[in-house]
Amino acid sequence: MTNENEELLPEELAPEESVYETDYTTGQDNIEFLGLDIHNPVFFASAALILSFAGSVLMFPDSAGGVLTGARDWTLQHFDWLFVIATNIVVLFCVFLGFSPLGKIRLGGEEARPDFGTLSWLSMLFSAGVGIGMVFYGAAEPTAYYTDWFGTPLDVAPRTPAAEKLAFSATIFHWGVTPWAVYAVIGLALAFFTFNKGLPLTIRSAFYPLLGERVWGWPGHIIDIIAVVATIFGLATSLGLGAKQAASGLDFLFGVGSGLTTQIILIGGITAMAIFSVVRGLDQGVRILSNVNVLIAIALLVFVIIAGPTLAIFKGYGVNALSYVTDSLRLSNWVGREDTEWFHGWTIFYWAWWISWSPFVGMFIARVSRGRTIREFLLAVMAVPVVVAVIWFTSFGATAIDQVKSGVGDLPSGVTDVSLVLFQMLENLPFAELSSFVAIVLLVVFFVTSSDSGSLVIDSITAGGKLHAPTPQRVFWATMEGLIAVVLLVGGGSAALTSLQAGAITAGLPFTLILLVCCLSLFRGLREELKAKGAAVTTP
């Protein structure tokens, strides 16, 4: 076991020998190229696809937004059912694992112990998984649903008690069990096949029970390539959203303008900070930033609770948690919906966004979760974020909606720009400039954490499962994330948010099928493990 001041070494992350037929060692298909240690053809194919996309959008920005939107509309028209069914299956699968005897299996073997303390572990899960998005949508999403910005959930009448109830239950629905179940499946599969079976820490390893030795050939290459592309688009979407909100905050505080130029400068500067962090590695970079993130987030949360409608916020915790449970079934239904525009624009976007993030977050969770039992893993990864979502969205959303109902500030006139809602809300609380500045800092640090942890994950995939590829390789992928975020903003023009959403939805579609197959592969692997343990116990 390592301590929190040591970088995890490959030999500490997996058994000495794989228990499967293969004698595969990480990097056997790797080649050295310009000082890089890269897996062929995953690195070259992924880089070529991403660079081709970026070049096309930059050369034809006027038509790029239309192409992205067209791809999104086609995906929504034909496959909205797939996103809903897939995520529901994943949730049920995780619940089954948690309550079944399979939940007793320990990641890394019976003697393994956690590599990170519980607080650092949970902080890294939160920062990598949902940090930027929760800051961006914390006040904006409940307010948008309540005031009928882009429709209301289940077509309820806006600005009514029913609208307020559904505003919170729908928001928590989008940020609760479902996304974390998606992350948990990928994370569990990667952690189990790496730490318990001795396979490389890369997406293809999760499919060994189904593909066998073919996983090291083109079927595995395709899985890893799709994972890299989906991850890049998922991260770029989050980075783009973060840049838009940070630019709005800077304009609110200093009047510097929140247009495309400011957003691009922000992405460039924060990508540079992410590169610095990714060079420092997991323990000295990501872990420290994650802990800082959580402290700043707690400080801002406590301020909003005290300065906002405190009694209504505390009352809302229980009410909104109950509403989330009672409304989830209706919100999960995709048949005969009258709120199609809202359903596609919010729920399906979120499901695709979470799925496109799952290779990144899942692999990152796997990397930091050695030594946990499956039951402990699922409890932390699925239950703790729901509690955080209830507290966070109730605190910020109740404060913003209270201002709407009271006619205070700009929010009563309706949401005009979701990236401005947080600052419009803070403007009507004490110490507005200070709290807005803290919110911007929080966004920036989350921005950096997501980018550098994502770079480490993509680097591992494109290095054939290696955890310590050359530094220039990490720098390359951190740069690619910033580039794609800029490209999506440029290609989207005035409808940049739509462009970001379109990229995430389109990239998430192919990985949805991989996610479902991963559930089957993980179940087969865990069942084999449990049978082997039982045989070992009963053998005289």
453-488 in b/e burial notation, b at 16+ Cβ within 10 A? bbbbbbbbbbbbbbbbbbbebbbbbbbbbbbbbbbb
Rounded to an integer, the average pLDDT of 258-270 is 87
Rounded to an integer, the average pLDDT of 209-221 is 89
Residue 539 lies in a domain: no
Residue 4 lies in a domain: no
Residue 31 lies in a domain: no
What pLDDT sits at residue 540?
37
Cβ 422 vs Cβ 308: under 8 Å: no
Q: Would you say residue 454 has pLDDT above 70?
A: yes
Q: Would you say residue 424 has pLDDT above 50?
A: yes
Window from 99-108, 224-233, 427-436 with minimum mean pLDDT: 224-233
Q: Would you say residue 128 has pLDDT above 90?
A: no
The pLDDT-based confidence of 127 (bands split at 50, 70, 90) is low
pLDDT in tens, 356-380: 888 878 887 888 888 999 999 998 8
The pLDDT-based confidence of 396 (bands split at 50, 70, 90) is very high
Q: Would you say residue 83 has pLDDT above 90?
A: yes
What pLDDT sits at residue 33?
60
> Please, what is the average pLDDT of the chain?
83
In angstroms, the CA 470 to CA 477 distance is: 12
Rounded to an integer, the average pLDDT of 172-184 is 93
pLDDT in tens, 300-357: 999 999 999 999 999 999 999 999 999 999 999 988 888 998 999 899 988 988 888 8
What pLDDT sits at residue 152?
93
The pLDDT-based confidence of 508 (bands split at 50, 70, 90) is confident
Q: Would you say residue 6 has pLDDT above 50?
A: no
What is the Cβ-side half-sphere exposure of residue 61, based on CA atoms within 13 angstroms?
Answer: 12
In angstroms, the CA 146 to CA 205 distance is: 44
Number of structural domains (the chain) is 1
66 or 134, higher pLDDT = 134
Q: Would you say residue 535 has pLDDT above 60?
A: no
Residue 434 lies in a domain: yes
- Element of type H or E holding 30: strand 30-33
Residue 186 lies in a domain: yes
What pLDDT sits at residue 433?
92
Quick one: what percent of the chain has pLDDT higher than 90?
A: 37
Assign residue 300 the CATH number of its domain: 1.20.1740
Distance of CA 250 to the CA centre of its chain: 25
Q: Would you say residue 32 has pLDDT above 50?
A: yes
Per the structure, the complete domain to which residue 194 belongs is given by 47-533
Q: Would you say residue 498 has pLDDT above 80?
A: no
The sign of the CA dihedral 498, 499, 501, 507 is: positive
What pLDDT sits at residue 518?
94
Q: Would you say residue 100 has pLDDT above 50?
A: yes
Query: Among the ranges 69-73, 104-108, 308-312, which has the highest mean pLDDT value?
Result: 308-312
Window from 221-235, 314-328, 460-474 with minimum mean pLDDT: 460-474
Peptide bond before 179: cis, by omega within 30 degrees of 0?
A: no
Q: Would you say residue 446 has pLDDT above 50?
A: yes
What pLDDT sits at residue 365?
84
353 or 165, higher pLDDT = 165
What pLDDT sits at residue 539?
38
What pLDDT sits at residue 234?
75
pTM of the model: 0.85
Query: What Rg value do the Cα atoms of the chain yield, rounded?
Result: 22
What pLDDT sits at residue 24?
42
What pLDDT sits at residue 284?
60
What pLDDT sits at residue 79?
92
Residue 138 lies in a domain: yes
What pLDDT sits at residue 200?
87
Distances (CA, A) of 380 to 94, 104, 123, 125: 12, 15, 11, 9
Mapping DSSP to helix (H, G, I), strand (E, B) and coil, where does residue 176 land? coil
Residue 37 lies in a domain: no
Q: Would you say residue 288 has pLDDT above 60?
A: yes
Q: Would you say residue 7 has pLDDT above 50?
A: no
Residue 269 lies in a domain: yes
Q: Would you say residue 225 has pLDDT above 70?
A: yes
Window from 30-34, 266-270, 349-353 with minimum mean pLDDT: 30-34
Residue in the block written with tokens 């290459």:
221
Q: Would you say residue 1 has pLDDT above 60?
A: no
